[in-house]
Chain A
Amino acid sequence: MSFNVSSFLESLISAFKYAPVTLELTAITFVVSLILGTFIATIRHYRVPVLSQFFAIFVTIYMGLPMMVALILYNLIFMTFYNDFAEAFHISVQISDINPIFIGFFALILGTSCSISESVRGAFRGIDKTQYEAGYSIGLTKFQTLRRIIFPQMVPILLPGMQNSLIGLLKASNLVSAISVIEIMTGALLPALLYYSYLEGYVAAALVYWIIGACIELLAAIAEKNSGKYLKRTVG
């Protein structure tokens, strides 16, 4: 059994060098998806005509699409139609100058928004109807009630799920390697290609992902501790 430690270390350093790509992908996607997902869930919760039916169908179908298939499909569509598109709209940017990471963002945001919208819908179900009525009874508008009464109470309910979503997203971001984006895994492999030390490269990548995931769990634990103080029952 031979595991080349120096290749491993080289891969590790290379992996860390590309960690910002993964972190950027993960963080930006998460924030945007949180906003979009909450928007979709709110529309569906309030049964807004037309839109809520549309999102119900869209989310249900879209969640049947694996991330890898989505990435490859979108990439192909982009490559196939970009030049015609650019000609029609007089865009001068060359296809080779566009960073494929945007396709990655597109696919990740779309997918993550759908799954987050499901989590937020679940959190809506956890809020008692009386909280809405209490807000309305003192004259708050629907929007005020949502913003000041309902959403704040959904946060502690959502935290564990959001932690899982975030870590899931971290791992999904790995798949952009299939559309030529260099992230942690492909970054770790760059030195490996020279020495055929693939195993060392992949193990290094795994280690970096693991460390980042552990940091996320730590932050989530701190967040959970500081939220939902009002939920602790002290009187029977």
Chain B
Amino acid sequence: MIELTSVKKSFAKQEVLKDVSLRVNDGEVVVILGPSGSGKTTLLRCINFLERADSGLMNFGGNEIDLRKTKKKEILYVRRHSAFVFQNYGLFAHKTAIQNVMEGLTQVQKKSKADATKIAEDALSWVGLLDKKDYYPSQLSGGQQQRVGIARAIALKPDVILFDEPTSALDPELVGETLEVIKKVAKSGITMVVVTHEMSFAEEVADRVIFMDGGVVVEEGKPDEIFYRPKEERTRQFLSRIMPVDSYVI
């Protein structure tokens, strides 16, 4: 569904993505792990053009896109067939939960208000927040805001949902309920690319894990291959630092 070839990106003099190629197949849940500064978030943001890569190719749903000179139409196409879940929730501050979910439905997918309301309410109840539909983001906890963000994403029925460290900004006690919802999304069969630190989540739900470090893909494979039989030294070092023996991060 998405194929990235030789993506390069520098910020000022710093090369953040050195030459990244990867593939995401239809219906797959791909988790990208790595230390901070590895470029994983930048890579994710390059997919839906929140960052513009310096060079490389992307095949998105069959469309070949040159990342060096991407046309506006191509960018809009990708953004209208994908959804992004932000680390800091990214909810429209001046709109209620349900208005947030409806915004894309009415303005982008040109659905009628009635249809949009129905879809939005279904999405909100799917994440367990129908009773908070008229609340503003400032009236919701971090975990609730994140779940609204997820509802907004799934309501659009995108081809792929991109998650940028969805639980990193949450208080520890709120991480669990959010992860449960993300797992639910994964089980529904939609294609997902998730950048995260949550190892147990990755283990439970990922079809494939990609380990990035220093702007390159170091290793990729099935979860238990990566976690328990890593081939690369860098992978081993990273895992040993964040996975204390016999404890899971919940």
Contact = CB atoms under 8 A, between A and B. Distances in A.
Interface of A: 130-131, 133-141, 144, 148-149, 152-153, 229-235
A134 B79 contact: no
B103 interface: yes
A233 B152 contact: no
A130 B93 CA distance: 10
A139 B91 contact: no
Closest 10 pairs (CB-CB, A-B) = A138-B104, A137-B84, A134-B90, A139-B80, A230-B136, A139-B108, A139-B79, A234-B139, A233-B138, A230-B94
A148 B103 contact: yes
B242 interface: no
Interface in B205-238: none
15 contacts: A130-B88, A131-B92, A131-B93, A133-B84, A134-B90, A136-B48, A137-B86, A139-B79, A149-B92, A230-B93, A230-B95, A230-B136, A233-B138, A233-B139, A234-B139
Interface of B: 48-50, 76, 79-80, 82-84, 86, 88, 90-95, 103-104, 107-108, 136-141, 152, 156
Given A134-B92, A137-B79, A138-B152, A235 B48 contact: no
B50 A136 contact: yes
B139 A235 contact: yes
A135 B140 CA distance: 20
A131 B94 CA distance: 10
B32 to A, nearest CB: 18
Contacts of B92: 131, 134-135, 149
Contacts of B137: 230
The interface residues of chain A, by DSSP majority, are classed as: helix
Nearest to B108: A139
A231 B138 CA distance: 7
Contact of A234 (B50, B88, B103, B138): B138
B156 A138 contact: yes
A133 B149 CA distance: 13
The interface residues of chain B, by DSSP majority, are classed as: loop
B79 A138 contact: yes
B104 A140 contact: yes
A153 B94 contact: yes
A137 B104 CA distance: 9
A137 B90 contact: yes
A108 B29 CA distance: 60
Given A230-B136, A230-B137, A138 B88 contact: no
Nearest to B91: A134
B152 A232 contact: no
A133 B86 CA distance: 9
A219 B50 CA distance: 41
B90 A133 contact: yes
A144 B79 CA distance: 14
A128 to B, nearest CB: 8
Nearest to A132: B50
Contact of A140 (B83, B107, B136): B107
Among B49, B88, B94, B138, max chain A CB count under 10 A is at: B94
B141 A235 contact: yes
B166 to A, nearest CB: 13
Contacts of B95: 230
Given A139-B104, A140-B107, A149-B92, A133 B50 contact: yes
Contacts of A231: 93, 138
Nearest to A134: B90
A130 B90 contact: yes
B138 A137 contact: no
Contact of B48 (A137, A153, A232): A137
